[in-house]
Amino acid sequence: MSVLVGRKAPHFSAQAVINGDEIVDNFSLDQYLGKKKVIFFFYPKDFTFVCPTELHAFQARLSEFEAKGVAVVACSTDTEQSHWGWLQLSKEQGGIQGVTYPIVADTNKTISSNFGVLAGEYEYNEQGELAATGELIAYRGLFLIDTNGVVQHMVVNNFPLGRSVDEAMRMVDALVFFEERGEVCPANWSAGQDGLKDTHAGVASYLATH
């Protein structure tokens, strides 16, 4: 698994479901460059138990993310038709009806692979094609990407371990605070608290390129 923090998020173009019911081609995170930060998160499978709790939890806080200039985008290795079908089922039926942010279909598994969150046994053949010896699904990876397309935060959980939307929001607040104030965030920092002045060249370098 590669560490993407400090590097450009891998480019992709794929089918996705947007607004809860519309299938689109050639969906890409490039549309947010220079405009919005992105929370891009992977989940293992449609029609499962932990996954809908995460997707609903992000939807419940979507307006907060958007108010901070952040787009939320989900992705799994299921097809766009599977995503669409799951979106038509109510929460009471185990579905994700009401989720409006984009859900990307990584049916060829290359997005998960490039982001370093693809679980399963696989390798690339001489033609550069991904060849699997078993089921391939994504770990619960989450990436905070800035407006320049650079990954600023990532976390990857195993399948049974659901993520904290509060922590994702805290990381957004920390990045916004740093970009606006030029101050770094100490352990357990939360919005409204003081930061720390940093005299290291790394901070100045970051600010000079953003």
Closest CA to 38 of 52, 58, 19: 58
Catalytic one among 14, 39, 51, 117? 51
CA dihedral angle for residue 113, residue 146, residue 22, residue 57, rounded to 10 degrees: 90
Contacts of 2 (CB under 8 A, 6+ apart): 116
- Is residue 75 among the annotated active site residues? no
Rounded CA-CA distance 136/132 in Å is 7
What is the chain's alpha carbon radius of gyration, rounded to the nearest angstrom?
18
* Distance, CA of 197 to chain centre: 29
Rounded CA-CA distance 7/10 in Å is 9
Catalytic residues: 51
